Amino acid sequence: MEKFYFKSYDRTIGSASNLEELKSEMKRLSSTDPASLEYHLRQGHITMWLNYIGETAAAKSLDGVTNASTALGKLGVQEEKGTGRNGMHRKMGGPHGGRGRPKRMESGMQK
């Protein structure tokens, strides 16, 4: 059977030969390159490949799913706790990965 290849532009960034390998690659890509994973989900590439290899239940569970976290949950894969989409710790500023902190008040000055 043919492998599934995760691509980002013209680069291969991952591959899978079966459902377990696919889950592992999806988990890895959800933190290293979620945009690529979500592209393959949106385009239906993953569900088509799952149907091709006979994993119809898994394919059906991902039908219409475009979000990496949702896809992992549907496949029963737990994400790492404490990391956001880009792998940064959630306490470092939420969805912006630590960017943006409250302005510091200068002593004696009021705004």
87: helix, strand or coil: coil
Enumerate residues 6+ apart whose C-beta is below 8 A from 29.
6, 13, 14, 36, 37, 68
| Structural domain harbouring 30 | 4-76
**Mean pLDDT score across all residues of the chain:** 82
53 falls within a domain: yes
* Number of domains comprising the chain: 1
17 falls within a domain: yes
12 falls within a domain: yes
**If you average pLDDT over residues 52-77, what whole number do you get?**
97
69 falls within a domain: yes
Residue 105 vs residue 70, higher pLDDT? 70
Residue 28 vs residue 91, higher pLDDT? 28
Say how many Å lie between the first and final Cα of the chain, rounded.
Answer: 66
pLDDT tens digits along 1-55: 899 999 999 999 999 999 999 999 999 999 999 999 999 999 999 999 999 999 9
And the tokens for 41? 């989900």
15 falls within a domain: yes
